[in-house]
Amino acid sequence: MILEGGGQFKEITMKLTDAQFIESKRFRIEDVCRIFRVPLHLVQDLTRATNNNIEHQSLEFIMYTMLPWFKRWEENLNLQLLSPESKRKNRYFEFNISGLLRGDIKSRYEAYAQGRQWGWLSVNDIRRLENMNPIENGDRYLEPLNMGEAGKQQEQLKALREEIFNIINEGK
């Protein structure tokens, strides 16, 4: 290797003991995470992480590590803080973790759009899934035009023509 200005090349090496120390430190981090069931990316160890597996690891952390704790806390709160009268009125403590389990917004919205277009989700169904209040007339379900009950097309077409005729004549 040729260096300009009389520079000298010095190879930077690490002693074997230092490399072993760093590796053992990394193993300790993995070990602690394993004991407490915490994904490595939550302690900023991203050596083997990708965006795709981080999302799934986060969901698994909520489901398999935190959910049992949430259930314990809910039961404890219900037992210690609710009066018998409150329990009779069907009151209870509950952690709403749906926001933590949702995943990415693009996938959710694509699923909602598909459910809405195919008629098995209403606007209010989607709003409930997103923890939003219902809206007026939001419980209507769509039916794709190419889907319908066999033999009912003529009746539906007649009703649609009448509705269009009434809309046109209202403006006159």
Tens-digit pLDDT string for the chain (172 aa): 667 777 777 777 888 888 888 888 888 999 999 999 999 989 988 888 887 788 888 888 999 999 999 999 999 999 999 999 999 999 999 998 877 877 778 888 999 999 999 989 999 999 998 888 999 999 999 887 777 665 677 787 888 889 888 888 886 6
Provide CB contacts within 8 A for 49, sequence distance 6+.
40, 41, 57
Residue 114 lies in a domain: yes
Q: What is the structure's pLDDT at 171? A: 65
Residue 70 lies in a domain: no
Q: Domain range for residue 138?
A: 104-149
Residue 131 lies in a domain: yes
Q: What is the pTM of this model?
A: 0.55
Q: What is the structure's pLDDT at 49? A: 81
Using an 8 Å Cβ cutoff, are 21 and 29 in contact? no
Residue 82 lies in a domain: no
Q: What is the structure's pLDDT at 1? A: 60
CA distance 169 to 172: 5
* Residue 160 C-alpha from the chain's centroid: 40
Residue 12 lies in a domain: no
How many structural domains compose the chain? 1
Residue 56 lies in a domain: no
For CA atoms 128, 129, 132, 138, give the dihedral sign. negative
Residue 25 lies in a domain: no
Using an 8 Å Cβ cutoff, are 96 and 89 in contact? no
Nearest alpha carbon to residue 71 among 44, 54, 93, 42: 93
Residue 24 lies in a domain: no
